[in-house]
Amino acid sequence: MAEFDVDLFVIGGGSGGVRAARIAAGHGARVTIAEEYRMGGTCVIRGCVPKKLFVIGSHIHHEIEDAAGFGWTIPPVSFDWNTLVANKDKEIARLEGIYTANAEKAGALVLKTRAVFEDAHTLRLADGKTVTAKYVLIATGGAPNHGPAIPGIEHAISSNEAFHLRQLPKRVVIQGGGYIALEFACIFAGFGTDVTVLYRGDNILRGFDEDVRAHVRAEMERQGITILTGCTVQKIDRHGKEFTTHLSNGSSLASDLVMFAIGRHPNVANLGLENAGVAINPNNGGIEVDGWSKTSVPSIYAIGDVTHRINLTPVAIREGHAFADTVFGKRPVQVDHSNIPTAVFSQPEIGTVGLTESEARAKFSRVDIYKTDFRPIKSTMSGRDTRILMKLVVDGTTDRVVGCHIVGDTAAEIIQAVAIAVKMKATKADFDATFALHPTAAEELVTMRTPTARYVREAAAE
């Protein structure tokens, strides 16, 4: 009789957990995966996928406006919010079914239930039954964080609820300056909503390259989005269907909706982690893991947003795959978290990989910057007042391209290919030797010959 009921028990049916379950099952492991809500996790159910669908929908408004410059006369059009939401729901349900089917086809048993630790090898399910496992993988993701409690915080929604609004608001106040806040600001603005963004810092997109931060803010403001920095929400009052948001600078705003998008916290509560002895990282509140995604308990691993390392779906997937190969495939794999490409689906879109200018200048003694800011060919005909930013950050000693930052249409599509070159340690000479593809915006990446700035210091930081 086997010592354990299963070889692997995965808590969480998101992208990372499902990938780990499928790969482990492929290696011959007996796998059970438990998901208390819907298979697919944050990305598929209430994150990147529905968000991208909303982004595409809102961008059509721009396309209709731009059509006139190309000779198209389009009669007045109308938009129905509830049709968008209903069609989005159908697509998410389809993807949820695929996630479940793929896990089951791989040989994993899918349980639609909550699982809580009783000890390091025992999980108790919602129906009271227990399952023992040789290894347990925690892949419970994260959840929106509303921050410190303020009067009226119960009136604010998170991005979770934004996907299920019964009607499109005419005025929205959004607190936050990161990915989610800016993406929803542009989504709502694209559909015609009056949008105000509030951020406590001096500028939006903390952690991004300074030129990117300035460029995106200017573009968003050009579209009519109000961005107020250096202030936060202090109180929210409700008056029937309207809200008054009181700010730390003493002013107030009236709106039909208040949204908080100030970050996400790891889903570690009420999992019984204390029963298993799993340690929490005191610095970020996520589950403490080593380079192999192993927790403080040898039989328990954790991947994805619940570790609060790098909260991106492809990272969770890579970590889940590496875990399964390491533990069940007899092929130790450590995830390299450097040079991870990322995108912000704001309007304009952001694509970035590698180091920012400030990070490179702190790391290298010589840094060359190549930067261009131009009007795309489409705008010359449509008359739209928008500009594209492209920037290369180069280690001046080795000539290696250590960072690339793009703001403009299809920036994410372009940066995915550029990330391969950066990961392969391509040099600026390699970029220069590559033929331009004309006429494209991306050709600028291989035609920037002269540095716009050069920085030299005596010694690099240790």
Tell me: is residue 177 an annotated ligand-binding position. Answer: yes
Residue pointed to by tokens 């695929």: 98
Phi-psi region of 217 (alpha: psi -120 to 50; beta: other; left: phi over 0): alpha
C-alpha 391/C-alpha 38 separation (Å) is 40
Tell me: is residue 178 an annotated ligand-binding position. Answer: yes
Q: How far is the first Cα of the chain from the last one, in angstroms, to the nearest whole number?
A: 55
Tell me: is residue 274 an annotated ligand-binding position. Answer: no
Tell me: is residue 52 an annotated ligand-binding position. Answer: yes
- Residue 427 three-state SS: strand
C-alpha 296/C-alpha 289 separation (Å) is 7
The Cα-based distances of 22 to 102, 299, 323 in angstroms read 8, 19, 12
Tell me: is residue 134 an annotated ligand-binding position. Answer: no
Please answer whether residues 208 and 404 qualify as being in contact, where contact means their C-beta atoms are separated by less than 8 angstroms.
no
C-alpha 88/C-alpha 97 separation (Å) is 14
Q: What is the CA radius of gyration of the chain?
A: 24
Tell me: is residue 179 an annotated ligand-binding position. Answer: yes
| H or E stretch at 276 | helix 273-276
Task: Using alpha carbons only, give the angle 82, 83, 84 rounded to the nearest 5 degrees.
Answer: 90
Tell me: is residue 104 an annotated ligand-binding position. Answer: no
Among the listed residues 142, 140, 143, 136, the one whose alpha carbon sits nearest the alpha carbon of residue 12: 140
Tell me: is residue 317 an annotated ligand-binding position. Answer: no
b/e per residue 303-321 (b: at least 16 CB within 10 A): bbbbbbbbbbbebbbbbbb
C-alpha 40/C-alpha 46 separation (Å) is 9
C-alpha 345/C-alpha 348 separation (Å) is 7
Residue 438 catalytic?
A: yes
Please answer whether residues 192 and 62 qualify as being in contact, where contact means their C-beta atoms are separated by less than 8 angstroms.
no
Tell me: is residue 199 an annotated ligand-binding position. Answer: no
Among 59, 121, 337, 438, the one annotated catalytic:
438
**Which residues are part of a known binding site for NAD(+)?**
176-183, 263, 305
Name the residues annotated as catalytic.
438
**Which residues are part of a known binding site for FAD?**
52
**Which residues are part of a known binding site?**
52, 176-183, 263, 305
